[in-house]
Amino acid sequence: MTFHHRTGFSAIALFGAVALLFSACAPKEEAKPPPEALTLTPLSFADLAGWRSDPVAQAVPALARSCARFKTQPKDRAVGPGGVAGTIGDWQAPCAQLADLPPGDDAAARAFFEANFTPYAAGNNGTREGLFTGYYESELEGSRKPDPAYPVPLYRRPADLVMVDLGDFSDRWKGERTAGRVVDGKLKPYEDRAAIVAGALKGKGLELVWVKDPIGAFFLQIQGSGRIRLANEGDGGGEMRVGYAGQNGHKYVAIGKELIERGALKREEVSLQTIRDWLLAHPDQAAAVMNVNPSYVFFQPLSGDGPNGAQGVALTPGRSLAVDSKFMPYGVPVWLDAEDPLDAGQRLQRLLVAQDTGGAIRGPVRGDVFWGHGPEAEQRAGVMKSRGSYALLLPKSVKVAAGG
């Protein structure tokens, strides 16, 4: 008995010594970063660099559109994930006052925001800096009818495409979406870009319009909306506007990253313009590179003002911002302070309204500025990859917990 006790004790001691030796020599595992989370820190309007200089009245029409959307919703409905921007009831008084502002009066608009809102610095677990890019309304040449000069179809949303908001099933999936088709009672993935481009949907009557340029069609899908100049005599000329109607559920993959990994472009060179130039210069490789992104967007004809954002309101050039709806609320004024995409020596400091989202817009401090349409909008959007920060303007009745 005594022997066995001593043997047992010695074995335990030896095991402990060996474990101690390995724990001392083995490299420590790096601590995992905390999950992304929106944190809010109260500021004053004096803390907003450039606040006195921006013609803030230009943002009022954008906010008015969001207010009109709020008006159709129940008073107790939460605004944003977890009610980060309060409830619809918190927005009723500011929205009612907004209607009385004189159009184009910057002083009156500035006084309105200062009287009704409190700015909060947005952070990702307290880190304020993030990435801000731009998007625009593309312009392509096309035809309503098939034509050898216009070989690339833009498709309507297929009837069997099921789009799922995963946040409807669990709060932990808020802001996450997927799509597919139901097969034998189960949701299965939809065809990816390569399959659709190869003709998986051909002959199903889904063609909305045909365009001339496959590379232009690719970038149209990234932007989500555009204008098609109808050149065929049978179309009667004119213009057709198209906007986002659905997506095939496959995750968006940036082909700029693919070109960097291939050594085709340097990281600092990547922009919409340089990617397009490379695709045009390498027609034998262009299709394969574009198919690295399996995401495919379906379109619908648009009428009325501007393309619609994810909030369901028309976007305002230079004043609408796409955000990650997993963290950020729609309809909220946002003060942006970022590098100017056209002048590294200047700051882009302006008031925008969060009204849209996008497949590449991920994280609490991440934004995509809508620049409108035309050559200048394309130039700004194409080169914009600015570091910066933003602040949310919330009604004074909204109570934000300490620490965000």
Q: What is the CB neighbour count within 10 angstroms for residue 88?
A: 20
- The pTM of the full predicted model, rounded to 2 decimals, is 0.82
For residue 9, what pLDDT is reported?
29
Mean local confidence (pLDDT), 97-112: 96
Check whether residue 85 and residue 153 sit in a common domain: no
- One domain for residues 275 and 174: yes
Q: Is residue 50 part of a domain?
A: no
Distance CA 319, CA 325 (A): 18
Question: By percentage, how much of the chain surpasses pLDDT 70?
Answer: 90
Write out pLDDT tens, residues 263-320: 999 999 999 999 999 999 999 999 999 999 999 999 999 988 879 999 999 999 999 9
Question: Using CA atoms in the order 162, 168, 174, 176, what is the torsion angle rounded to 10 degrees?
Answer: -10
The verdict on residue 12 lying in a domain is: no
In this structure, are 368 and 381 located in the same domain?
Answer: yes
Query: What average pLDDT is seen over the chain?
Result: 89
pLDDT at residue 233 in the model: 57
**Tally: H helices and E strands in the chain:** 10, 16
From CA 262, how far away is CA 293, in angstroms rounded? 15
pLDDT score at 131: 96
Boundary (domain end) residue, out of 301, 325, 356: 301
pLDDT in tens, 220-260: 999 889 999 997 656 666 889 999 999 999 999 999 999 99
**Tell me, what CATH number does 267's domain have?**
2.40.240.50
Of 249, 275, 301, the last residue of a domain is 301
Question: Which range, of 223-227, 322-326, 400-404, averages the lowest pLDDT?
Answer: 400-404
Is 136 in contact with 381 (CB distance < 8 Å)?
yes
Which residue range(s) make up the domain with 109?
A: 58-132+309-395
pLDDT tier for residue 23 given thresholds of 50, 70 and 90:
very low
E strand or H helix at 152, and its extent? strand 152-155
Q: Which of 115-129, 303-317, 388-402 has the highest mean pLDDT?
A: 115-129
Same domain, 358 and 268: no
pLDDT of residue 404: 56
Q: Are residue 81 and residue 184 in the same domain, yes or no?
A: no
Q: What does the alpha-carbon distance between residue 283 and residue 287 come to, in Å, rounded to a whole number?
A: 7
My answer on whether 62 and 191 are in the same domain is no
Strand partners of residue 226: 138, 242
Number of folded domains that form the chain: 2
Is residue 40 assigned to a domain? Answer: no
229, 191: one domain = yes
| 340 and 375 in a common domain | yes
Residue ending a domain, choose from 282, 301, 320:
301
> In whole angstroms, what is the distance from residue 349 CA to residue 352 CA?
10
Residue 208, pLDDT > 60, answer yes
Q: Indicate whether 125 belongs to any domain.
A: yes
The beta strands (E) that lie in 29-108 are given as 38-42
**In terms of pLDDT, which residue wins out, 283 or 23?**
283
CA distances from 66 to 43, 54, 280, 282, 356 (A): 24, 20, 40, 44, 11
In this structure, the answer to whether residues 294 and 348 fall within a common structural domain is: no
Instruction: Give residue 36's pLDDT band: very low, low, confident or very high (50, 70, 90).
Output: very high
Same domain, yes or no: 254 and 380:
no
Q: Counting Cβ atoms within 10 Å, is residue 113 exposed (0-12), middle (13-18) or buried (19+)?
A: buried
The answer to the question of residue 268 being in a domain is yes
- Which of the two residues, 265 and 28, has the higher pLDDT score? 265
The answer on 143 and 227 residing in a single domain is yes
